[in-house]
Structure 1
């Protein structure tokens, strides 16, 4: 196996000192652009790779950010991770990612394991209860929460209160007076935000809102189909697009016309929403931007600043063919 190329090897080949090579590779303003270009060209030719462990020792902290997500199969989280990873990479950091499988106990285990290898933590849509979250925030590294409001930590979130009002006002504007919400995981902070806002908005608009338990994946929406069909609702809001697409699939399989018999709307506007049949009305949000903002909050904290104010992103309603004017339900089906 070939020996690792060292700074001294690059310096010898470039005809300069080790300190000059180090500064050039780290982007120091003390080195001229010409020397920087020369040193980096030589380093590339020799196959030099920076020693991350040495950099971490110099900084006194790992150049790794630990990240927890509930479900890596959900495109929402993969896009958040893309934004976070790109920003972290530009800052010289890397991500160490753990999936909890929607299990709060597994998430807490991951947090306590990741902290041993990370200089900071990002909890994405954390399912931890209050006690678990307090344990996470008591760890000796800065923590940013995405889609979860907490104190003494960074906070980046979608404004689900505004989102829920927008969805319900869209449906009532189409004449719907009875709406059903197919909920998400009981441990989800954003599901609680949705439910509370939908209830308040329904009261203000004099609309009947019914709620049933759902979940977070396509099969949860499909499984909810019979209950949805037995309801008296003319419109349905689902916890996320995966649940919404699953419900649309069941309605199609059972010859329920959408939106003629039932309108369906949802949250997140992941790519599949536009290709559902019919295309799903959904609330678009900047998922990659959530990751970028989380990194900005971490950067400020790692630099010794106080936590910035929470970043709230406003969603945008994308109206598609799954919602339409309310019509009288011909019958309440039992199968």
Structure 2
């Protein structure tokens, strides 16, 4: 309600958030998550887990739908969560991931994935190795691991597209137009591909 009230006063473009009736520029992470799931399955993973994000998150609903559709009839999928986008949530998910027998995990957020990797290492389970946990490309590079499947959300591209949409709205001199909705593609990087 607060965003809609602010948007009624001035031209507004939301970044990585969608709300009915408002312009937005978002990263299409749902498609990237579906791609990750299909690649894990193509690489022979028959039990995959998705650790969902915060309850009520529109992105989590889209990502859950994408991984569920990608796994349907091809592999066992365990959806865990909802979980806050925190390192602690990742650490807390270790037992559930091990209990479901997942050999690959797609976490809602990098912070969850890092917590899971930390928790697995604390249990003596190497990742990648016994359980592969996807992450963002920047994190994989920072960890010095080119063996982790990664997505690459272009934050600068999101900001540039949002500023262009906002500039267009400002140039219209307040004449309301149809909301601009853009989804920017999110590349998936796969080791050895």
**TM-score normalised per structure 2:** 0.85
Residue 167 of structure 1: how far off its partner (Å): 0.5
Output one character per residue of 1:248-297: Cα deviation in whole Å (capped at 9) or x when no partner: 1111111113233212113x43x333233756421112111111111111
1:287 is aligned to 155
Q: Is 2:149 aligned against 1:275?
A: no
Residue 178 of structure 1: how far off its partner (Å): 1.5
Output one character per residue of 1:170-228: Cα deviation in whole Å (capped at 9) or x when no partner: 1001101111111111132211110011112221x522211111321222211211221
2:121 is aligned to 252
Output one character per residue of 1:144-183: Cα deviation in whole Å (capped at 9) or x when no partner: 1222333432110111232122111110011011111111
2:88 to 201, 219, 225: 219
Q: Is 2:30 aligned against 1:161?
A: yes
Tell me the distance in 2 between the aligned counterparts of 1:220 and 1:144. Answer: 31
Number of corresponding residues: 187
Tell me the distance in 2 between the aligned counterparts of 1:315 and 1:239. Answer: 14
1:174 is aligned to 43
Tell me the distance in 2 between the aligned counterparts of 1:313 and 1:134. Answer: 23
Tell me the distance in 1 between the aligned counterparts of 2:145 and 2:78. Answer: 24
Tell me the distance in 1 between the aligned counterparts of 2:6 and 2:54. Answer: 21
The answer on whether the counterparts of 1:215 and 1:221 sit within 8 Å (CA) in structure 2 is no
Residue 320 of structure 1: how far off its partner (Å): 4.5
Q: Is 2:80 aligned against 1:207?
A: no
The DSSP-based 3-state class of the residue aligned with 1:293 is helix
Output one character per residue of 1:104-127: Cα deviation in whole Å (capped at 9) or x when no partner: xxxx6xx5xxxxxxxxxxxxxxxx
The answer on whether the counterparts of 2:22 and 2:179 sit within 8 Å (CA) in structure 1 is no
The change in CA–CA distance for 1:152 and 1:309 in structure 2 (over 3 A counts) is same
The answer on whether the counterparts of 2:22 and 2:180 sit within 8 Å (CA) in structure 1 is no
The answer on whether the counterparts of 2:4 and 2:22 sit within 8 Å (CA) in structure 1 is no
Tell me the distance in 2 between the aligned counterparts of 1:189 and 1:276. Answer: 30
Q: Is 2:14 aligned against 1:150?
A: no
2:182 to 294, 311, 314: 311
The change in CA–CA distance for 1:195 and 1:136 in structure 2 (over 3 A counts) is farther
Residue 244 of structure 1: how far off its partner (Å): 1.0
- CA-based RMSD: 2.3
User: Structure 2: any 5+ residue segments left out of the alignment?
Assistant: none
1:49 is aligned to none
Tell me the distance in 2 between the aligned counterparts of 1:151 and 1:254. Answer: 44
Tell me the distance in 1 between the aligned counterparts of 2:115 and 2:63. Answer: 20
